[in-house]
Amino acid sequence: MIVRRYPNEDDELAQHLTDQLNTPLDRPESGELNTGHIASIAAATACDVAYDQAANGHLVDLFAALPLPGTPEGREFWASLGEAGGQAAWNIVPANAGGPFFDYLLNGNEGGIAFRVLSFVGELDDERRAAVAEVIGDALKDTFVGGGARYLGKLWLRDAENSAWHVMLASRRKQETREDRERFLDAWGNA
């Protein structure tokens, strides 16, 4: 983890711990593990883990906003998306992705969905991307207020692409070693 965050008395986490939970940062004062240490651990964990888990959760939320496979609306939507997206759509359509699509997350393969989403979006030319945005936007327009169908579809695609990139980037970071991080910090420190 490259990000280092240390809570101090003015920090929001420290204020929460002291005000809401009534636990001063130096409690217990015995020099062993105290609330301040736990706050540091929580902050480090949030910096390192939540980034990837939040992006994965957001990808799931994006798909949850679309019509469900196996329903009449879902069958129509996914068929339309397949037509609009052409070969690229095979990366994400339920007929190809199948039930295990979201099981990957449960089994610790966070990059599986992200890779498929990036492949899908990356293989769309401008014409197909506009057609896919229209199909997605049509499915979202009754649920979300603001903008037309095409605009909502563009937002969905942009958000899915960005979230998938965050997952892939975080997955790469998980493979880094302490030496990799030290080499990175040294290189930038000596630049």
pLDDT in tens, the chain (191 residues): 333 445 555 566 666 666 666 666 666 666 676 666 676 666 655 554 455 667 777 888 899 999 999 899 999 999 999 999 999 999 998 888 766 777 766 666 666 788 889 999 999 999 999 999 999 999 999 888 777 889 999 999 999 999 888 888 877 766 677 788 788 888 999 98
Q: Are 176 and 187 in contact (CB under 8 A)?
A: no
Q: Select from 49, 20, 25, 29 the least CA-distant residue to 37.
A: 25
Q: What are phi and psi of 166, to 5 degrees?
A: -60, -40
Q: Are 167 and 56 in contact (CB under 8 A)?
A: yes
pTM above 0.85, yes or no: no
Q: Select from 146, 136, 168 the least CA-distant residue to 62.
A: 136
Alpha-carbon Rg for the chain in angstroms: 22
Structural domain spans, the chain: 50-189
User: Cβ of 151: how many Cβ atoms within 10 Å?
Assistant: 14
Alpha helices, DSSP H only, in 89-145?
A: 94-97, 100-106, 110-122, 126-140
